[in-house]
Amino acid sequence: MFRIMRRPRRTALLAVGALVVGGLTAIASPAQAAVACQVNYQKAWDNGGGGFGANVTITNVGDPLTSWSLVFDFPNQQRVDHGWSANWSQTGQRVTATNMSWNGNLATGQVIGIGFNGSYTGGLNNNPQTFSINGVTCNGAQQQSLVVAPTAVTVAAGSTATYAVRLQSQPSANVTVTNTAGAGNTGITVQSGASLTFTSANWNTNQTVTLAASTGGTAGDRIITVASANLQSVNVTATKTVPPSQGLVVNPTTVSIVKGATGTFSVALAQQPSANVTVTTTAGTGSTNITLQSGGTLTFTPANWNTPQTVTLASAAGGTNGSRQFSVASGTLTPVTVTANEINGGTNPYLTEFLLQYEKIKNPANGYFSPEGIPYHSVETLMIEAPDHGHETTSEAFSFWIWLEARYGQQTGNWAPFNNSWNIMEQYIIPSAAAQPGQGTYNPNDPADYAPERNLPSQYPVPLDTAIVAGQDPLANELQSTYGNRNIYAMHWLLDVDDVYGYGNGRGSSLTECGDNTDRVTYINTYQRGPQESVWETVPHPSCETGRFGQSGSGYPPLFIGGSGSNQWRYTNAPDADARAIEAVYWALQWATAQGNQSQISATVTKAARMGDFLRYAMYDKYFKNPGCAAPTCAAGSGKSSSAYLLSWYFAWGGDTGGAWSWRIGSSHFHGGYQNPLAAWAMSPNGPTALRPQSPTAATDWNTSFNRQLQFIKWLQSADGGIAGGATNSWNGAYEARPTGPQFFGMTYDVDPVYHDPPSNQWFGFQGWGVSRVAEMYYATNNALAKSILDSWVPWAIAQTQLGTGTNWSVPSEMTWSGAPSGNFNSATGTPAANPSLRVNVTTRNQDIGVAAALTRTLIYYAAHPDVANTTLGQQAKATAKGLLDRMLALKDTRGVSVCETRTDYRRYGEVWNSSTQQGLFVPSTFSGTMPNGDPVNSTSTFRSIRTFYNTDQTPTCTGGPGSGITTVNAYAQNQSNPVPSFRYHRFWAQADFALALADYGALFPNG
């Protein structure tokens, strides 16, 4: 995912008056000379560990200036590392900042803002005392203030916690500061330091205030007010935490069991016991067809008390569905009741298998979900592919979860899990309003500053170029008018669910990351540096940059954007995931309506329509340039002229953490496998009214997109049937002059339109994902162009699929391409020409469960269409789909379906940067910093060296025990003559897609 990090803009830094928050202001008398000035120096942040940032506001109260030079002296061992909106330099303790070309003219009364990030040693970071402009001192009295850190304190019941207080500047007389407990939890009191005295000698020495929390009681916050006469008071939020009392942790408390099968729930203790605890489960009232199969007596020790243990219930085959209650109890602890409900899988074995697979995914003992209920990318943690850890998650996983719950609602009539999946998604991976501050400052006529993409990570950081004009964003005002604010309702693509990297607040910081006050589930990003940057070459970094980690004071932005030192938040959307979520909601609406239950999901459908409104940003060029742009200086778009009406690889949005400015970009690269014509049709005027976005032009946009996407896929279809790469409106990501070649609505064909390591259309999975949507489109609408695409693709895919006996089967894995589309798309005819010279060759095959499931679902929807169901090709498609399902069912395990995967790419685990091959983790010699856990980030870093948390990973290999995975990976990375690492992975999306394939076949072919 590539995006821009934007420097503070000139317009964004203008302020009115002098602002003082924990800083000092130099105030001049009314202008009597040519130069007179006011300067406000305010710390923006200070991590207490040697890094800080400051904002400086200059007010011209004298005659107009045509240029200016600000000078001040640091009182301690401080340095300016890099700054913005001025030319910064430092000699010794003296700092000089001179105007840029665009902010030298200062009218009388004009205010400008500049700033910097810096570092300090020796523990002191006092503010400068005197400032001058053009050699004239900005005279005035220094303003006093209180300095309190941290301003958020956690104190456990029965213990104490502290914060520090000092003065901002030296007083002329003693100053008394009081610390008073105010509203909130009365179990928190000020134990010492209620009254502090600061003198002219100790004014800058931290004095400690100790808070105490009573034993027992309830958890909660209390405000402690730090105050002194005539000074602005500071509030400290103290949070009392109370350890849980002993109890039983049972999950879930309602279990669905397919008739004739089993279901499970897990049991653990709430806190560590001093001795062994025995927990028993006994059957209670209800259907005697449901019995306790195992786990009736469980023993928890002081060592395993929080490790969930499994209780298995069994349902007898036959009879009517029933329910039964089971009591989970231990001594005097409050018992927990578990209700088991039987589900009728019906006579169709594939629907029964769907419900069994569903129960495996939802079983908490199997580890697919986090404690918050978030689907992990995979059960296993040693997982390096697009995400670089299994317990990260993606918007892709959420979209498959929503679809899984939609099918479950169709099978059971229970739509609560479906609504819950959307709500959890909305809570955790759609940034809240607090997580995207300053959206009100966004200017649709100036959406972002330009930074070119480069082909290699070693060509980064790249500079911003403010001389390049971006086009107009035509959506922002319409969306604000529709929804009442500027906030974006879209998923960010990547979460660190368990905060493995440590960008959350669990590392002792009082800072709030992107509006998220939790210690877990943090927004992160990885890919930033061009199409050659593979997962092995990324530096994971927080989506909310505060400068806490990375390079001291400046964080991670200097790896990506030259001269970018401003703290900012930024999110990136993967459009195919949002479109898949909307696609799933479309089917949920069809199924719930058939049951008469559409009112149960109406709120979720409305939210999906809203997501579709914002998904239109994926249609636009990165800098809103018109199609055909072949130089950065090409004409900027206006209105909707920069829309390709296709789904691009990403769109992104971000802004200043202080809310001073914000930006938005689209993407210029369009991949054939990302298109979703069904979702586009569902939001067009031809789709269901309930799923139509509310903005006035949205439905028309999606109607255009629906047709354009099908045309694009057909234009990319090879003579063999496979769908080739895509097209771009920005050659090499920098609007370079384009090679001669076919174009689609002004965009040039690109065989690998997104990433190159590995090539972005090498993976067959994009075929299954992309064409399955065309097959659903054909099934739902009988569209002729969709049928034309499928009539060519289906026989090619069947011919490339190998069905042996037992578990001997394979599907395409990797492909190579030759040739190109025959010519430019002729919009007058509306139907792309054939491509006899565009060819594809399948080079490798494997047993990828997710890819096989996507292929199977494509064949199912095609074969189920009445117009092809009885044709030879339709029957072949159905037989191939059934053959794949039956062979995958033979690979069932306790967690789902799996095969042993060998991973030769893990040889790159310890790869050192090689300038000749341009592979390995590149960190420029100018960058030196650390990850949150202390791992150094510098020019000698590797994938392994900045992820030392993997050293204790317990993921097993196919044949080894806990920890064998990382041992094997390390050995193989060091010497490829050692055994190749092999794993049984349970990726959430793949397991869900397999379940959906079972349900698709069972529902569309009820007679088998």
**What are the angstrom distances between the C-alpha of 747 and each of 618, 620, 636?**
15, 12, 15
**Closest by Cα among 848, 884, 722 to 794:** 722
Please pick, among 388, 498, 576, 720, the residue that the annotation labels catalytic: 576
Q: If DSSP states are collapsed to H, E and C, what string results for 917-972?
A: CCECCCCCCCCCEECCCCCEECCCCCCCCCCHHHHHCCCCCCCCCCCHHHHHHHHH
Instruction: List all residues 6 or more positions away from 551 whose beta carbon is below 8 Å from its beta carbon.
Output: 81, 558, 927, 928, 929, 937
Task: List the structure tokens of 698.
Answer: 């949205």
Which residues is 348 bridged to in the sheet? none
Task: List the structure tokens of 532.
Answer: 């050659």
136-137 and 290-294 beta bridge pairing: unpaired
Instruction: List all residues 6 or more positions away from 924 whose beta carbon is below 8 Å from its beta carbon.
Output: 460, 461, 559, 939
Task: List the structure tokens of 958.
Answer: 């196919």
1004 sits in which H/E element: helix 988-1004
The Cα 926–Cα 938 span in angstroms is 8
Count CB neighbours of 599 within 10 A: 10
**Residues 304, 268: contact at Cβ < 8 Å?**
no
**Closest by Cα among 622, 639, 356, 611 to 470:** 622
The Cα 131–Cα 118 span in angstroms is 18
**Closest by Cα among 360, 356, 324 to 342:** 324
Report the largest interatomic distance among the alpha carbons of the chain, rounded to a whole angstrom: 98
User: Known catalytic residue: 396?
Assistant: yes
Helix locations, 504-644, DSSP H = 575-595, 602-614
The Cα 972–Cα 976 span in angstroms is 5
The Cα 334–Cα 661 span in angstroms is 53
Q: Count Cα neighbours of 497 within 13 Å in the Cβ-side half-sphere.
A: 29
Instruction: Give CA 20 to chain center in angstroms.
Output: 35
**Residues 949, 939: contact at Cβ < 8 Å?**
no
Task: List the structure tokens of 653.
Answer: 């949005």
Instruction: List all residues 6 or more positions away from 333 whose beta carbon is below 8 Å from its beta carbon.
Output: 246, 247, 248
DSSP secondary structure string, 214-267?
A: -SSS--EEEEEEEE-TTS--EEEEEEEE-PPPS-EEEE-SEEEEETTSEEEEEE
Instruction: List all residues 6 or more positions away from 872 whose beta carbon is below 8 Å from its beta carbon.
Output: none
Instruction: List all residues 6 or more positions away from 805 whose beta carbon is below 8 Å from its beta carbon.
Output: none
**Residues 542, 503: contact at Cβ < 8 Å?**
yes
The Cα 475–Cα 627 span in angstroms is 18
**Residues 211, 161: contact at Cβ < 8 Å?**
yes
Please pick, among 353, 388, 392, 396, the residue that the annotation labels catalytic: 396
Task: List the structure tokens of 597.
Answer: 């239950």
The Cα 102–Cα 234 span in angstroms is 37
Catalytic residue numbers, as ranges: 396, 576
